[in-house]
Amino acid sequence: MTHLKPTVEMAEEAARGLEWRRQYNRGGTEVGVARARDISNRINLSEETISRMVSFFARHEVDKQAEGFSPGEEGYPSAGRIAWALWGGDPGVTWSNQKLKELQTDNQMNITINNRLGKVKLNSGVTKESADELIDKLDRLYGERAVAAQMTIGEIVCKADDAIDGIEIEINTPGGSVFEGQRIYNALREMSARGVEITATVNGLAASMGSVILMAGDQRRMTAGSRIMIHEASTIAAGDARALQKQAILLESISAEIAKTYAERTGMDEEEIREMMMAETWMTADEAKDKGFVDVILKNGKEEKSGQVDIGTEKINKREMKLIDRITNPSSIEAIEKIAALENVIATHDSELDAYKAKFESVEIALQEAAGFKAELDAKTAELELIKAESIAKDEALTKVNEVLVTTELEVEKAKASASEIAIEVLASIGQPEPIVEIVAEATATDHIEVLASLKGAARTLYYAKHGDEIRKILNK
């Protein structure tokens, strides 16, 4: 049985941290104080507590570079130095990492390849060393290292883009450095983008950055009894207001980025994620599945998938498409099933596409007919407008002619009246009385001629002007 009692050196460091906190009233949290009391009293610690210690030291290693952490520096002991002591200080770092390895039956990030499936394990805190090691393993599976080593699977020599079809990463970590965890996450997502299906499985604990690394999985699984923990980014800082403000802005930015990753991979709302992070939320397998952090729960070695998936309504995943080109074992039942499913999806989509094409062609024909009708309507409209314009012009011309005729008739009548008046005045001036010659209705041309013979000069002219038309009509009969 692994001995989990803190060392004397750890107890001395924790007691020093408690004394500093009483004296300077800074450094650490209530959780840190409780941890220091257990360590200073050398009480056996639980595996979960040891995991948290590893995570704390990994996250706050950077605090050792701050002013006031080391003796002789201004502000010593800084808030970061006091918190470091509360958790057991440097002796606690060495002890907690060692004990966590002893508690884990497999404490290395081993790499195995079986049927074109690579398997790695992350069973330690997220530090620069563990990140370097894991990324190196991934590179050996699917990168330049795989090519350089001419890794073979059966009789097949691996190529850079044909080494494996999938990666399984087993996660059991208390978390640690944000930036090193992000490196691991990015390495896994890069492999996914190249067509390798990533399966991430929580087997024990995925806390802090361990939960972020879990999000890199295309499929995420969790064994029953395991736990996931998410929280806000944290650090221990010292300095003036501006220095602390800069730290606060950095932490807020990191937390927002982590929340965005959770939201994108789970489908949850970012604001809800942030609330969970601020509350330091621990999730069981069932809770994690309900919130979308995992897709599958493993119970007694069997998978319980989250609901029924209709592959016909799902988007064709790039990894499935990649499988067709990269498959090397046609007899594989899994490969045949996936290919058959893809063929069904493609056939369904082809049928739907044909239906859409037919509808589109009908619409296109209708649009063409409508365009023809519109052209005809425009031509008729233009023709009617021209006829209307011509009609208006004719009406205006007739109106003007009528006006001229009316004016002319009036002028003629006026001229006749004027001529009569002038003739009478002339006759009167020469002593010629106004002719009073009345011709009966049945007068003949001879009658008129006799009258004309009796008249002279202007009187004769006046008479003829008055009865000339009548005389001509009689003569023309």
Any residues with CB less than 8 A from the CB of 389 and at least 6 apart, and which?
A: none
Angstrom distance (rounded) from CA 324 to CA 41 = 62
| Catalytic residue, candidates 130, 208, 211, 255 | 208
State how beta strands 117-122 and 152-153 pair: unpaired
Alpha helices, H only, 430-444: none
Residue 357 to residue 151: CA distance in whole angstroms: 48
For helices 128-141 and 178-193, the axis angle rounded to 10 degrees is: 10
Name the β-bridge partners of 173: 206
Residues in the chain: 477
The catalytically annotated residue of 231, 255, 448, 467 is: 231
How far is residue 353's CA from residue 330's CA, in Å, rounded to a whole number? 29
253 counts as catalytic: no
Which residue carries 């003629």 as its tokens? 412
- Position of tokens 């067709």? 324
Q: Is 231 one of the annotated active-site residues of the chain?
A: yes
CA–CA dist 441, 444 (Å, integer): 9
Candidates 90, 84, 130; CA nearest to 107 is 130
The CA distance from 63 to 80, in Å, is: 6
Task: State the SS3 of 210-245.
Answer: HHHHHCCCCEEEEECCCEEEECCCCCCCCCCHHHHH
Position 195, amino acid: G
The residues annotated as belonging to the active site are 208, 231
